[in-house]
Amino acid sequence: MSHVAINPSNGQTVATHPEIDAKALRAAIAAGHRAYQKWRKVPIADRAVPLRATARLLRERADRYAVLMATEMGKPLAQGRAEVEKCAWVCEYYAEHGEAFLAPEEVATDASRSYVAYRPIGLVFAVMPWNFPFWQVLRFAAPTLMGGNGALLKHAPNVPGCALAIADLLREAGFPEGLFQTLIISVAQAKSVIRHRHVAAVTLTGSTAAGKAVAKEAGARLKKCVLELGGSDPYVILADADLDAAIEACVTSRLINSGQSCIAAKRFLVVEPLRAEFERRLVERMARVRTGDPLKEDFDIGPQARADLRDALHDQVRRSVAAGATLLLGGAVPSGPGFFYPPTVLTDVKKGMAAYSEELFGPVATVIPVKDARAALKIANDTAYGLGAAIFTADVGRGETIARDELEAGACFVNTFVRSDPRLPFGGIKESGYGRELARHGMLEFQNAKTVYVK
């Protein structure tokens, strides 16, 4: 079997990379374990050196990596460069703060000295998605490596070039040979990696179904998991919201990465007094979005990453319309090559429709009219997911209270769109997964919080 990169703009094969065999996989894990045994003893401050070099190389190669992402999964060039810059930021963030995050915590007891020491746990196996092919990997790798662990990567099969480029990048930045490895392997082989005695933990970003499968495999062997899964983020638009700002935030969030983001705005819950004006402006703004070749600079969104994903999205739209949703914009598969889908707006969406309960992973905005704030919050939380949520209101204090106490999600934003930030923990609840990435919380996920008690 092979991992095949197909250019989603034209459907043509870019490259083919064969999967490694069982013997090569065992050798890779063994090499990773040997590298980890040495790396864990390297002073924390010294671990920051290759991480800073990684940030420098990322910035130097931003254009190259942006072209690679555009070619393999359709990300517009400007967004690809922004992704590379964010990767550089997360590397610098952990290089600067990692030592403080891992500092021992003194605890007063009846001992002469007692404290919590943080120590690495071993090889962390990462299963990563295609939608942010550099960011998803570096946001786990930076704190994992800075924390003294090793890392093995199984990337999505449609972005093998990105996966191999990241392994080359980290090696060239100065990380020891074997400490971070990209494995071109199958799902069945991935199970064998989880089972391996030298693999201490697993992190996955992907679908809820994939998360459940990995959690089952890891749980059977009592191995730590961090899972960042799907989302159906609600954006609540109250009657006193700044409509101009809300529309811009909603459209920006819905269309980031051509709508292929777990924390994109997916459901717009709009109170009735604003409904007509919100829909008019939303359609007007979405209609101005330029769709085209991501390798050209004059387009806002590119194709969907794969043909099957575009077809599944269109099926969700068709099923929702058949169930009574109103199509205000888009909703038709364009002719011609590539896996493009137009910016689309649905309204009159109700419980029982695909657009209400399923995650729509593409440029489709779903409007759910609601009577008032209470109804909006009830519907916002009426989902299997719990990744991100946002609320728009002129009463910032009220918005903060709702975000903190009433919205059921791992990240709740007021008067702006949901995003990840190296300085803040990121992750979800319910079927959006568990555990946290980023900030100090993310670094400590794969550390042994070791109690040291001296009488």
Q: Can you give the pLDDT at residue 298?
A: 87
Q: How far apart are CA 324 and CA 347, in angstroms?
A: 9
Tens digits of residue pLDDT in 101-119: 999 999 999 999 999 999 9
Of 124, 110, 115, give the one whose Cα is nearest residue 40: 124
Domain limits of the chain?
Answer: 2-229+429-454, 233-414
Percent of residues, the chain, with pLDDT higher than 90: 99
Amino acid occupying residue 124: V
For 191, the token pair is 């199970």
pLDDT in tens, 226-248: 999 999 999 999 999 999 999 99
Which residues are tagged catalytic? 228, 262
Average pLDDT taken over every residue of the chain: 97
Hey, what are 450's tokens? 């070791």
Q: What is the pLDDT of residues 15-67, one digit of tens each?
A: 999 999 999 999 999 999 999 999 999 999 999 999 999 999 999 999 999 99
**Residues 349-380 pLDDT 10s:** 999 999 999 999 999 999 999 999 999 999 99
What count of residues does the chain have?
455
* Confidence (pLDDT) at 1: 85
Answer for the pair 45, 99: CB distance below 8 angstroms, yes or no. yes
pLDDT at 216 over 90: yes
Q: What is the tens place of the pLDDT at every residue in 279-288?
A: 999 999 999 9
Side-chain half-sphere CA neighbours of 327 within 13 A: 16
What is the pLDDT confidence band of residue 341, given thresholds at 50, 70 and 90? very high
Query: Does 2-229+429-454 carry CATH code 3.40.605.10?
Result: yes
Q: Do domains 2-229+429-454 and 233-414 have the same CATH topology?
A: no
Diameter of the chain measured on Cα atoms: 76
Strand segments (E) across 219-285: 224-228, 233-237, 265-271
Residue pair 5/159 in contact (Cβ under 8 Å)? The answer is yes
CATH, domain 233-414, list 3.20.20.140, 3.40.309.10, 3.30.465.10, 3.40.30.10? 3.40.309.10
Kindly tell me if the per-residue pLDDT of 80 is higher than 90: yes
SS3 at position 130: coil
Taking only the tens place, the pLDDT of each residue in 140-184 is 999 999 999 999 999 999 999 999 999 999 999 999 999 999 999
Rounded mean pLDDT, 395-424: 98
Contacts for 408-415: CB closer than 8 Å, 24+ residues apart = 408/380, 408/381, 409/233, 410/386, 410/436, 411/263, 411/387, 412/388, 413/388, 413/389, 414/390, 415/241, 415/242, 415/245, 415/246, 415/249, 415/390, 415/391
Cβ-count burial of 212 within 10 angstroms (0-12 exposed, 13-18 middle, 19+ buried)? middle
Q: What angle do CA 217, 133, 364 make, to 5 degrees?
A: 95
